[in-house]
């Protein structure tokens, strides 16, 4: 079981954290909603939950709640630029079917 950040993603997260001035790491998660069933969650973390599973990737602490982990296992979070747009992208091997915009998916 593992979830990782690409080097580029880790660099961006680290710099956002410095500018934000607080926080212990990055939370990845899923919740049920959206047009294809499950949607990603991507948040800063100020306080860890007891049922969080912790990973460390390129110096950034990644926290995932135990319920979300099966949906995300093996995921690599990348930071990319597509045309003018830039942001984070989940490369998730569990996804069978995603909605057109990629904000929600099915397993």
- Give the interface with other proteins as residue ranges (CB under 8 A): 12-13, 16, 19-20, 26-27, 29, 31, 33-35, 39-47, 80, 82-90, 98-104
- How many other CB atoms sit within 10 Å of the CB of residue 86? 11
Phi first, then psi, for residue 80 (nearest 5°) are -135, 165
Residue with tokens 């599973």: 53
Closest CA to 1 of 44, 89, 62, 48: 62
> Which residue, 49 or 56, has its beta carbon nearer to other proteins?
49
């Amino acid at each position: 079981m593992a979830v990782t950040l690409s080097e580029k993603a880790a660099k961006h997260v680290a710099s956002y954290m410095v500018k934000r001035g607080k926080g212990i790491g990055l939370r990845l998660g899923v919740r049920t909603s959206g047009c294809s069933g499950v949607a990603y969650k991507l948040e800063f973390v100020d306080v860890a939950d007891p049922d969080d599973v912790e990973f460390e990737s390129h110096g950034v602490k990644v926290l995932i709640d135990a319920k979300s982990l099966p949906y995300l296992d093996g995921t690599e979070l990348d930071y990319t630029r597509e045309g003018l747009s830039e942001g984070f992208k989940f490369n998730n091997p569990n996804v069978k079917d995603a909605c057109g915009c990629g904000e929600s998916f099915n397993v």
